[in-house]
Amino acid sequence: MLSKLISAVCSVLWVFSCAVTAAQDQHLTKALKLMSETPLIDGHNDLPWQLRKQFNNELNKVDLNTLNTTHTNIPKIKEGHLGAQFWSAYVPCDTQYKDAVRQTLEQIDVVHRMCQKYPETFMFAASSQDIMTAFKAKKTASLIGVEGGHSIDSSLGTLRNMYHLGVRYLTLTHSCNTPWADNWLVDTGSEPSQHNGLSPFGKQVIAEMNRLGMLIDLAHVTVDVMNQVLDISQAPVIFSHSSAYSVCPHKRNVPNEVLKRVKETRGIVMVNFYNDYVTCKHTANLSDVAAHFDHIKTVAGADIIGFGGDYDGVTRLPEGLEDVSKVPKLVAELLRRGWTDDEVKAALGNNLIRVLKEAEEVRDKMAATRPDDVPIPYDAVQNPCRTSHGYPNAGVAHSLSTLGLLLTLALQALIALAAL
């Protein structure tokens, strides 16, 4: 009798398991169909930084078909049906006031070389139309985002040159203040505010980005900066890799009141997969990430949502989303949760394409506006590594500053000698 009961229970469990598997397969099949019709556009991937860290950008020594020390390679990209990617041209904050511009240019260069080395997989893209052209050609559209305002060294000329090289968004700060904008750590209380958000020059940067058609990325900034940019930008903004603060109260995430303003200004929040931003813990799973999508949709609608995985830029990823190949499972989970086809397609790529098109329209309307050539005040950027060329009244101040530095060093040396 007992053996029959056990057999019956096993049969029921087997049937239930088959039913669950069939349902999962149904949602995954639907997800892949939608991804064949609308490009999955991811807002942030740090593979270029891994190429710097692991190979010092010696791309000739790397085969992206077999590379297995990253979240991203060509087989994973194909399995993940990645339609378009903003590759991050990131350099750390310790390059600020030193060689940030050079190192950023080298990261831009490695993205271009990656597209040239693997033309069967990647197509360089610099516009909304380019994304669709690549998608129709079954290639991954490759765009560039510069992560951190320190990369432009407080120079509008450098900003413009990076745009000419194909950069289509700038994250205003990383995890350090720039001479013109506060970073998210200010909101944690671990760093002081230097500008109460944006400085006057920071507002010049926003206007010039609008004129260029470069997307303004508000990941990594303070809430004050978020609101100030939403007040003054003529184009929609993006959060290239940030999640929902109400789900996980980490200062890198976006609070509800800002989500609502992003909706009003037709921008986009591209959900980050980093465990610490998903659950505020070291562990997370795919369902936890989907909860951020659901929350943002509830607060501000499906029209402001996108994917911003942060692959190869983080150390912990949710169970089920361990690398780029797994993203279709997240799309299937959204379908399982009742998202409509149109809502899923909006999040996959239609929202980002709309935002980029609107930024391009603002650029076109501002075509007659001259480039801003008013530099940042010298006293905002003065430091021993910076010369004062072009600042008519800064030469004496610079000389005095250098003299003061030398006198300070001499005094420290005398104190050290006296202590011997």
Give the residue numbers marked as catalytic: 44, 46, 147, 174, 220, 241, 310
Tokens of 357: 């098109």
What's 419's DSSP letter?
Answer: T
Q: What residue type is 13 in one-letter code?
A: L
Q: Which helix (H) or strand (E) is 375 found in, with range? A: none
User: Strand, coil or helix: what is 275?
Assistant: helix
Check if the beta carbon of residue 277 is closer than 8 Å to that of residue 253: yes
Q: What residue type is 367 in one-letter code?
A: A
Tokens of 126: 């610099």
User: Strand, coil or helix: what is 85?
Assistant: strand
How many Å is the maximal CA-CA distance in the chain?
100
In whole angstroms, give the CA distance from residue 83 to residue 132: 9
In whole angstroms, give the CA distance from residue 400 to residue 407: 10
Tokens of 242: 């940030």
Tokens of 21: 């598997």
Q: Is 130 left (phi over 0), alpha (psi -120 to 50) or beta?
A: alpha
Q: What residue type is 273 in one-letter code?
A: F
In whole angstroms, give the CA distance from residue 361 to residue 79: 34
In whole angstroms, give the CA distance from residue 142 to residue 239: 18
Nearest CA among 110, 105, 240, 82 for reference residue 159: 105
Decide the pairing of beta strands 215-217 and 122-124: unpaired
Q: What residue type is 74 in one-letter code?
A: I
In whole angstroms, give the CA distance from residue 80 to residue 90: 23
Check if the beta carbon of residue 172 is closer than 8 Å to that of residue 180: no
